[in-house]
C-alpha cells in the first residue's frame, strides 16, 4: 500500500492567490503523499487556475478575491462534502511548508492524541526568517489570550490538521489574514485537545516577497476587534 493510498481519507486545502510560479510544484509534491488536494483559487489575476487545472488537484474558484480566510473556509466546505473525508489539512501555496510535516500533523490527529494539530516553526525550524518577522510572530502569540490558554508558540502557521468534528465547527468569518487568530480562538473556545507539532518553514526569496507585510498586523487587530458585529 503506497503512502497516497493510506491517506485517501485526508483532504488537503490549499488557498491560492497569484501563485502561478510555485503552485504546480507544490501541488505535485502534495499529491505524492495525499491523493485528495483541493486548491481554492481566490480570484487570482495570473495563470494560477490554469496551473492548478494542469495538476490532479480539485479546483474551486472564487470569481472575485475575498482573502485567504475566505479561501480556506471555501476549501474546507468543499472537502467536507466529499465522501470518505475524515481528516483535513491546511497548507500554504507558496512552498514554505514541507509535505512530510503535513504527514506528521495528520499522524498526530489520526492517532487520537489530539483533535487539532497545529504546525509550529518555533518548536521546529524556520530557515531564513528575518529577526523582525520572528519578533512580530512572537508578539502575535504573546498578545493572544487564546494562544496562551492553549500554550501555543506559533499562531500564524498555515499548516494545520484536524478531524471532521473540528472542521465542521470552524466557520471562518475573517476573510483576510485575521483568520489565523480566529481559528486559534475557535479552537480555544471549544472542547478540543490541541497539540503543536514542530514543522520547518522555509523562507525563500519567493515566499518572503509573497508573504504578508508586518504592517498587516495593524489590519489584523482592527479586523479582530469588530469580529462579532453584524450590522
Partner 1 sequence: MVVIQAVLVVALVGVLVLFTRREHGLRMQVGKRLAFVAFIGANVYGVLRPDDLTRVANHVGVGRGADLLLYGLLVSALFLVVNTGLRFRAVERRMTELVRAFALHEAELRRSSAPPDAGM
Encoded one letter per residue, x for contact with partner 1 by CB under 8 A and - for no contact, window 198-227 reads ---------------------------xx-
What is the chain's length? 231
Decide if residue 128 touches partner 1 (CB under 8 A): no
Q: Which is nearer to partner 1, 173 or 208 (CB)?
A: 173
- Residue 124 to residue 72: CA distance in whole angstroms: 24
Q: Which is nearer to partner 1, 109 or 172 (CB)?
A: 172
Q: Exactly one of 6, 21, 61, 219 binds partner 1 (CB under 8 A); which one?
A: 61
Give exposure, 43-61, as e/b (b: 16+ Cβ within 10 Å).
bbeebbbebbeebebbbbb
Decide if residue 78 touches partner 1 (CB under 8 A): yes
Q: Give the shortest CB-186-to-partner 1 separation in angstroms.
A: 16
Encoded one letter per residue, x for contact with partner 1 by CB under 8 A and - for no contact, window 171-190 reads --x-x---------------
Decide if residue 73 touches partner 1 (CB under 8 A): yes
The total of other beta-carbon atoms located within 10 Å of residue 194's CB is 21
Task: Indicate left, alpha or beta for 74 from its phi (over 0: left) and psi (-120 to 50: alpha).
Answer: alpha
Encoded one letter per residue, x for contact with partner 1 by CB under 8 A and - for no contact, window 33-52 reads -------x------------
Amino acid at each position: 500500500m503506497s503512502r497516497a493510498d493510506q491517506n485517501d481519507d485526508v483532504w488537503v486545502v490549499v488557498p491560492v492567490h497569484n501563485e502561478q510560479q510555485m503552485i504546480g510544484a507544490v501541488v505535485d509534491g502534495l499529491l505524492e503523499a495525499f491523493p485528495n488536494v483541493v486548491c481554492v483559487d481566490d480570484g487570482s489575476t495570473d495563470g494560477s487556475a490554469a496551473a492548478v487545472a494542469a495538476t490532479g488537484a480539485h479546483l474551486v474558484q472564487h470569481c472575485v478575491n475575498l482573502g485567504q480566510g475566505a479561501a480556506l473556509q471555501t476549501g474546507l466546505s468543499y472537502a467536507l462534502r466529499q465522501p470518505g473525508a475524515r481528516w483535513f489539512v491546511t497548507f500554504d501555496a507558496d512552498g514554505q511548508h514541507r509535505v512530510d510535516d503535513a504527514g506528521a500533523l495528520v499522524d498526530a490527529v489520526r492517532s487520537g492524541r489530539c483533535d487539532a494539530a497545529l504546525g509550529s516553526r518555533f518548536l521546529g525550524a524556520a530557515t531564513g526568517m528575518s529577526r523582525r518577522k520572528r519578533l512580530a510572530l512572537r508578539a502575535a502569540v504573546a498578545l493572544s489570550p487564546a494562544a496562551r490558554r492553549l500554550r501555543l508558540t506559533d499562531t500564524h502557521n498555515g499548516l494545520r490538521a484536524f478531524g471532521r468534528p473540528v472542521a465542521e465547527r470552524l466557520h471562518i468569518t475573517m476573510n483576510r489574514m485575521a483568520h489565523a487568530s480566529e481559528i486559534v480562538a475557535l479552537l480555544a473556545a471549544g472542547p478540543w485537545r490541541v497539540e503543536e507539532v514542530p514543522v520547518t518553514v522555509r523562507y525563500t526569496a519567493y515566499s518572503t516577497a509573497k508573504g504578508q507585510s508586518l504592517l498587516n498586523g495593524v489590519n489584523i487587530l482592527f479586523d479582530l476587534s469588530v469580529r462579532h458585529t453584524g450590522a
